[in-house]
Structure 1
Amino acid sequence: MSDDGVDLLRTFRDPLIGLPLSHVWRGAGSAIFLEFGHLTGRTRRDGTLGNPEGEFGLMIEWNWRIEDNSSILCGSWSEESLWAATFDHIRNKTVVEFSVVGRLPEIAVGLSDELFVTSFMTAEGDPAWVLFDRREDVVRTLGVRQGRVEAVTASR
């Protein structure tokens, strides 16, 4: 990764370290969302309550796994009956590491108690993860475009 990419990653990583994984939820298909830090309620367009949003949120569209220090606890191809218990197991753990790994940048989140969440795209295109920084009036995102880590800023 270039020096610019390392600096960019650091601006997202440093405030994440020490935050709790406050909420984990399933999106469409096998997508998962990890919400870090203080949670804010969210209302959908139809007026129903949605999943809360954290100060930071990580979406992994597909192909992910949750590991402990010696094995895979579950992943996007595991029996769905394993998901809820594993999500409960990682909830409220603290972020101790946040990095990208590989030639095409995949995300790796290290949590307290030697637990890890990693992405690993297996289809064509870019790795399918996005980190949202929602601490300000604008939302900054970090993701991969054309094989490179890239940030985008958008208004709420």
Structure 2
Amino acid sequence: MGGFADLAGSVIIDRMTDWIEHFREAACGMPVSHVWRGHGSALFIELGALTPTTRRDGSSGNPMGEIGLMIEWSWRIEDARSIACGSWSDEVLWQPSFNRLFGREVIDLTTFGRLPEIMLSLSGDLYVASFMTAEGDPEWSLFDRRGPVPIAVGCRSGAITNEA
């Protein structure tokens, strides 16, 4: 990965494709281990080994994967020939579509569009894509929790940026 150090000595990635390549290399071959709905229509997809979480009130939370994808809103799940459901679909369609993702292997992770949207390609001809339809930036984030310091990236002002 190309980069340079900022004044604090942190490595800054100098091209947004380097961040996506980092996540592509990490995610490819990992299974979808958990899929869950956050607030509103937020979609979380957890990849690889899961780590249990605890909420502030002491109850169990959703487990976190080694790699995670969050699409806050405007997302869709596609199969080979159609859109299975999306953030604007009837919510009764969501859980069956989430269940179809479980256990599928990541084939690719890429961006598309002038303002980077995210596409997760899974085995069995299933795809998850962000697809923002409102003003602002595409609302997605990727998380790499494998190291001692988690990495989080997303799209801000048309570029992929470190959110840490």
TM-score range (shorter-chain normalised) is over 0.9
Amino acid in structure 1 at the alignment position of 2:124: D
Shift of 1:107: 0.3
What is the aligned counterpart of 1:34 among 45, 48, 55?
Answer: 45
Paired with 1:111 and 1:91, the residues of 2 have a C-alpha distance of 10
Paired with 2:136 and 2:146, the residues of 1 have a C-alpha distance of 30
* Cα root mean square deviation, aligned: 1.0
Paired with 1:80 and 1:98, the residues of 2 have a C-alpha distance of 26
Gaps of 5+ in 1: none
Paired with 1:123 and 1:51, the residues of 2 have a C-alpha distance of 28
Give the conservation status (yes or no) of the 8 Å contact 2:66–2:144: yes
Question: What is the number of residues matched between the two proteins?
Answer: 151
2:8 corresponds in structure 1 to none
Shift of 1:4: 1.4
For the pair 1:135 / 2:135, whether they are aligned, the reply is no
Gaps of 5+ in 2: 1-13
Greater shift, 3-12 or 144-153, is seen at: 3-12
Q: Which of the two has higher C-alpha Rg? A: 2
TM-score (norm 2): 0.89
What is the aligned counterpart of 1:90 among 101, 106, 112?
Answer: 101
Q: How does 1:1-156 map to 2 (within 5 A)?
A: 4-153=15-164
Paired with 2:148 and 2:18, the residues of 1 have a C-alpha distance of 22
TM-score (norm 1): 0.94
Q: Could you list the per-position Cα deviations for residues 128-148 of structure 1 after superposition, in whole angstroms to 9, with x for gaps in the alignment?
A: 000000001211011111110
After TM superposition, the runs of 4+ consecutive aligned structure 1 residues lying more than 4 A away are none
**Paired-residue identity, %:** 54
Paired with 1:57 and 1:142, the residues of 2 have a C-alpha distance of 11
Paired with 1:7 and 1:48, the residues of 2 have a C-alpha distance of 38
